[in-house]
Structure 1
Amino acid sequence: TNLFYCFPVFPLLIMTETLELISSCFGYLLNIGKKDIIFLIDGSASTDPTGFAHVRDFLLKIVQQLNVQPDQVRVGVVQYADRVKTDFSLNSHNNKAAVINAIQRLRNIGGRSSELPDAIDYIMKNEFQPFAGARPAVATQHLVIITAGRSTKDVNLYGQLLKSTQINSIAIGAGRGNTQLIQIASTPKDFIPIVSLPNLQTQEVLQQFIARLAGLTPVTLPDGETPCNHLFFTLTTAGKSSKQADIVFLVDGSINLGRSNFEAVMQFINSMIDNLYDDESSLQISLAQYAADVTDAFFLNTYDNKENIVTAIEQVQYRGGPRINTGAAIRHIQNVHFTKERGSRMDQGVPQILMVVTGGASADDSRTASLALQRKGIRVYAVGAGNIQTELEGIASESTTVARSSNFQAISDLVELLMPALTEELKGQKLCVTESLTPRSTNFEQALLLEFGRGFKYTRPLKLNIMDLDYELLDELVSLINQSFIYCLHKHVNMKFFSPHRITL
């Protein structure tokens, strides 16, 4: 006999030959429906840095398999020890690449004890909530606990509490905490014991976890069944897809860099372009250099092939200058480069990306200029070297679009760090395109530029819960948004209008 997995309700099966579910599905996305998944990880001393690295690799393998995007699968990570820390919430990131990047940056928080009850209480109050991105009305809720030790506090009460909710709890444990994890898990099948944290990497654990996440139960069927007779979910090929984007590089050409560092930045840009281009690409590149003012090297529609772009970059000369006005330079990019006349395909829904490479603090307000750009749907990456983290974070769309090296001679090392996020964005969903969107000057000006939560689309977090607005304010808000924008939001964040006054996500 062969081992199969099936839904407990529907007689739809997926064949797996002797527990090879995951290995047979690598290279595919598992479309298992809309899910909100919080990983609650033991970050105490019982999970040392080596053990934590195995947890991190496990999360990466799982997320790579899932259809992570705001309207499908959302992922959050919380650590606990003698305190609780949210690494990122369900709505912190708006694409799979950003989630992967955030997981790669995870480091355990440390601590002497693992207080699981406190962590569960925190999760219930702060993460499985609409303001943090939870969607209990449209997505199944999942808590995944990974621990290497035993909690010093009794977990039975919280196990009963979880089982009384609609949150499905999967518990994965090594060490002495198995009895507690059985109390926490939704069913006995939702407890996955492991000998030690390195066992998270085994095929058996990976496939058990995916099976439980999908709500599957192992059953045996007679020999002779064919592999493709009993699919329960969609396998989507993760093969090549066309990369398309309009990418503008804005480079600091002041004395912050100097001539040799400027040349290193040009090599970095050429390396980025070399990695991004392939036979299927539909990329447009432009470049500008700035100090107190801006010098345009070429525009998005100046060159139509990689070779000419690389040659043009090699011919750019360092200008110099005593100070930089990054804010004015960003506004120039918005008004000159990201325009239809200069080749921008924003009106076709093609991703728009600005990569700012800077070596110092701006003499003007770069943050406000960047926010204005992001409100147009343009993603902003900020790259630099040295002690300018605060400056970079003020420019970038989010923390995962920031990259910094120790010095500019090492900036090419950042290519590997940036490529996963960029590649994912270039293959991602197109921007929402509307015929017209003109925000009016009212007290709802920011609301028109919101993300409905945090991290949905291209803008910085606005902690606005639309359900907290009263009916009169909702009337005014809806009246300010034209029908094309309503359709755009409905399409991309699944807004449903149950009544003229009630908007839910």
Structure 2
Amino acid sequence: MDIKQKQRVTLCCLVLVAITVCSAAVKKDATKSVDRRSYSSACGKADIVFLVDTSGSIGETNFNKTLEFIKRVILYSSSSIGPNALQIGVDTFSSSFHSEIGLDDYSYWYSLRSAIGSIKYRGGGTDTATALTYLTSKSFSTSAGHRSGVSKTAVIVTDGKANSNSAAIAAASSIKNAGIYLLAVGVGNAVDSGELNSIASDPVSKNVFNVSSHSYLSSIAYRLQKRLCAVCHGQVDVVFLIDTSTSLNGRVFKDTLTMIADVVSNSDVGSNDVMFGVDTFDAVFRQQITLGEKASKSSLMSAVQNIGYHSGGMTNTALGLFGMQTVSFSPEAGGRSRAAKVGVVVTDGGSNDKNATIAAAKAARAAGIRMVAVGVGSPSYTELYSIATSSSYVYTGTSYSTKARLRTLIASIKNDC
């Protein structure tokens, strides 16, 4: 091999090495990009406030680790910050409470990140009760940027016991009743586990996080982000859509109302728990009871039993499904932004346009509604299966078995939140 040939071979080898290195780098960057996009906008539209302990037992170094932890959780949660996306607030507390960053202070991730990094360590005692109380009056107030109808979640990060255990627990109970969902992060061995469990919202098994030191906070950042974004606050919005076409008689309708009343009777009904709505459809879609319209379980059950039967000709199931998806779960109808959504269609499955029904059901499922199909009369199971989220969500009749399965399903969804 002459010198020129050797030079060409050497040059080719260098090019190959360069391509390999660059390819690996591109692949590595692409992987990071894919990971980042998978987190992007994961939390959707939500108001989240971090309440950070800056008491004397923590020290400035560990406090700064907490700030890095918060930045990492936010990074995983969303790339979109602002009035139409995720809003983040940060408060600190020790002997006194300090509002560091309001919910509507920043609309850009890098500005928010810089602001978090600039928060100063203060030292002092651990007045957890006062800090929790300010979450309601200040942190999630309209003046601080909270948006009406948007879920409220607070994450408290602490390394010790409150100055007053009973006062902290009472304050936590009060703000949970005000609709603020609480997650708790305990750091170190001095944490009072019982206190954290009492502060956090149920289920505590999913809403309390513990690490042995501030150095390990980063290890739970992704798990906390997943919980923040997946959480539906124990809230479930359930809408029943009842077929009142001429193919089903008044007796079946009455049995359906009795079934719904039974499910309501055995559920935790309330603005922070399960809310029910009822629609009917035939040739026309009608909203009978909107979500949250009836504040108490007894008034809701009475309203359900008093829904009048009026048969309206053909079975326009597609119209009913469209109305349920676009109207019944909307904020205007009482739908909650972070609540799990369940639609229960009670029909014989004989719609006037099967293709339109399939398309409308697909759109409802794509909108995040878990679809249950209850077949009554002489049901068309092919159509029922096309409506339901899965075959396990297809039930038959209004019997005790169906009631029990609906109660179990709703309770299971609520407990998974």
TM-score by length of 2: 0.47
Task: Kindly name which structure, 1 or 2, has the bigger radius of gyration based on alpha carbons.
Answer: 2
Which structure is higher in RCO with an 8 Å CA cutoff and minimum separation 6?
1
Point out the structure with the larger helix share. Answer: 2
TM-score by length of 1: 0.39
